[in-house]
Structure 1
């Protein structure tokens, strides 16, 4: 399964490349960037990076590197994926801290959601977002996701935001 390439006005969503890892590892090691998740050491970051890429082989869905089309610089990641034993597509986004506040997460996530609904024909998508993560909640709301319920992720209470295909 090859990873589909998605483009927006400013961004290219593409498969991870080995040279993307340093920026990914730096992001996951940054306490401010990971305040709603947990900081990861480089070894753990490598396992996550590899599993993100490998999801494409298992489900034909997974994570994309988000690249600025103008410069080729990787500025974050977005994913449309399935957790173990789930048939519900989950979405997620991360923008590397140097690029916060530039609308990158929303632009990349909008392309990803469009792909989930128009190409994959998913009936719905959901995002799991911590209550205090107001930036991600705003992105979810701009994407048309609405709070549905509290759920649990790795033993932590978290909000589930859902959007049905229209």
Structure 2
């Protein structure tokens, strides 16, 4: 893990998207996404109080680890379309990736584009030797994103009592 901490969230730009810090006004869409049983089918829905704790925890990761989650905003409209993260779990030294697209914006390639920016930030800017994503086997859309990002299946594990696959990618020239 990089020992230099970032106290502000770096902005990442793609052709269509801006990846930026979480803002208070982003919470309503975030909470609705976590409460939606379809969107949260793989880890289970969260009530508003749990969603607030998750929202604040993800925002606070930047101060603790110098890595965390971004709100994904469509540049053309300013509409928030989801979140993407490149972060560390408490027990891990391997940077983890995560992505969520709000259901109304699914199928437009936003997850692919945002997650590719997060991978580039992790491997090329931060120079992390390896990244991983934890994905439920039934989560076909996230598995497609992982393949497009060049992540390969490594092993099975559990998160929050749910079985998931570990998908990884190493930085070129990195000796992990």
| Same fold, judged at TM 0.5 (above) | yes
How far, CA to CA, are the matches of 1:62 and 1:164 in structure 2?
19
Give CA deviations for 1:95-121 in whole Å, capped at 9, x if unaligned. Answer: 000000000000000001000011110
How far, CA to CA, are the matches of 2:119 and 2:43 in structure 1?
22
Give CA deviations for 1:58-104 in whole Å, capped at 9, x if unaligned. Answer: 00000000000011111100000000121110000000000000000
1:9-24 correspondence runs (5 A): 9-24=15-30
> Are residues 1:140 and 2:126 paired?
no
> Are residues 1:43 and 2:49 paired?
yes
Provide TM-score, normalisation by structure 2.
0.93
How far, CA to CA, are the matches of 2:158 and 2:44 in structure 1?
15
> Are residues 1:129 and 2:135 paired?
yes
How far, CA to CA, are the matches of 1:121 and 1:77 in structure 2?
22
The answer for the alignment partner of 1:157 in structure 2 is 163
The answer for the alignment partner of 1:87 in structure 2 is 93
How far, CA to CA, are the matches of 1:136 and 1:96 in structure 2?
13
**C-alpha RMSD of the superposition:** 0.6
1:70-81 correspondence runs (5 A): 70-81=76-87
How far, CA to CA, are the matches of 2:152 and 2:61 in structure 1?
26
